[in-house]
């Protein structure tokens, strides 16, 4: 992977007020840390940085940062983006964390997983499901792939591709459990069809049913006692 050249300007004003001034000047406040050097607060030209993001959308990037101090080059080094903060409303980048790296030392980064082809299981109503959108890998910075392509055209329903099944570039190692599912084809959802009223049989209205139960529970009425006959008069 080639390095992307990016000029950054050292900034002296720190804190919220300093960051606000950078944004008002159409810049992005940033910080560079890592390695043996102390963290350096810098600003990045927004227009140039957003152009780079559009050109390399979805790809891993290595930057060659030229740190400028009052229009003079102070230092330069390789770096990767460790974190980007976005405005929750406009989704603009509002801060960037760069991490210094050595091109001769292996690092851990995340790269996008891209499915290639259409699963054969889709013809039977199945759908492709992503379980792992990004893959953590360990390799030299110069060996970082832009993304990991995965052929899914052979997948049938209920078949999956695991981390151990991935074909990775030379020198690249996945930092995951080999049995982790990356992609799978799931069966179509089954819809439960309600039975017609005729098949369900006649239903007794609740009111009638309730009356019937009360009637069955009521105790039987006692028969009236028989009248005793008066004794016949003596003759």
3-class DSSP state of 181: strand
Which pairing describes strands 107-116 and 147-151: parallel, antiparallel, or unpaired? parallel
174-190: pLDDT as tens digits = 999 999 999 999 999 87
- Angle (CA) 161-169-109 rounded to 5° is 85
pLDDT at 37: 75
Phi, psi of 203, rounded to the nearest 5 degrees: -110, 130
Which pairing describes strands 181-186 and 127-130: parallel, antiparallel, or unpaired? antiparallel
Global pTM value? 0.68
3-class DSSP state of 18: helix
**What is the C-alpha to C-alpha distance for residues 65 and 28, in angstroms, rounded to an integer?**
15
**What is the C-alpha to C-alpha distance for residues 125 and 41, in angstroms, rounded to an integer?**
53
pLDDT at 217: 52
- Angle (CA) 126-129-135 rounded to 5° is 150
Domains of the chain: 3-101 (2.40.240.10), 108-186 (2.170.120.20)
79-110: pLDDT as tens digits = 999 999 998 888 899 999 999 999 999 999 99
pLDDT at 221: 46
Helical H runs in the chain?
15-24, 46-55, 197-200, 206-217
* Burial of residue 19, with CB atoms counted within 10 A of its CB: 0-12 exposed, 13-18 middle, 19 or more buried: buried
% of the chain with per-residue pLDDT over 90: 58
pLDDT at 227: 46
pLDDT at 34: 85
67: Cβ contacts below 8 Å, ≥ 6 apart: 8, 10, 32, 40, 42, 73, 74, 75, 76, 77
**What is the C-alpha to C-alpha distance for residues 92 and 26, in angstroms, rounded to an integer?**
11
Flag the least confident range among 10-24, 67-81, 115-129, 218-232.
218-232
């Amino acid at each position: 992977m080639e390095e992307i050249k990016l000029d950054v300007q050292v900034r002296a004003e720190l804190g919220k007020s300093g960051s606000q001034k950078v944004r008002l000047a159409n810049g992005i406040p940033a910080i560079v840390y890592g390695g043996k050097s102390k963290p350096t607060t810098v600003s990045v030209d927004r227009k140039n940085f957003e152009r780079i993001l559009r050109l390399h959308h979805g790809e891993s990037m290595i930057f060659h940062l030229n740190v400028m101090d009052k229009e003079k080059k102070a230092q330069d080094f390789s770096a990767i983006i460790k974190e980007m903060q976005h405005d929750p409303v406009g989704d603009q980048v509002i801060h960037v964390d760069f991490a210094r790296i050595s091109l001769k030392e292996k690092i851990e980064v995340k790269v996008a997983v891209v499915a290639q082809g259409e699963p054969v299981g889709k013809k039977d109503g199945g759908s492709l499901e992503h379980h792992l959108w990004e893959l953590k890998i360990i390799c030299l910075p110069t060996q970082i792939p832009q993304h990991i392509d995965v052929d899914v055209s052979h997948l049938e329903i209920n078949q999956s591709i695991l981390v151990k099944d991935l074909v990775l570039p030379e020198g690249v190692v996945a930092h995951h459990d080999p049995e982790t599912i990356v992609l799978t084809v799931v069966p179509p959802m089954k819809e439960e069809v309600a039975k017609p009223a005729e098949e369900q049989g006649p239903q007794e209205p609740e009111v009638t049913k309730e009356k019937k139960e009360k009637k069955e529970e009521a105790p039987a009425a006692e028969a009236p006692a028989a009248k005793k006959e008066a004794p016949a008069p003596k003759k």
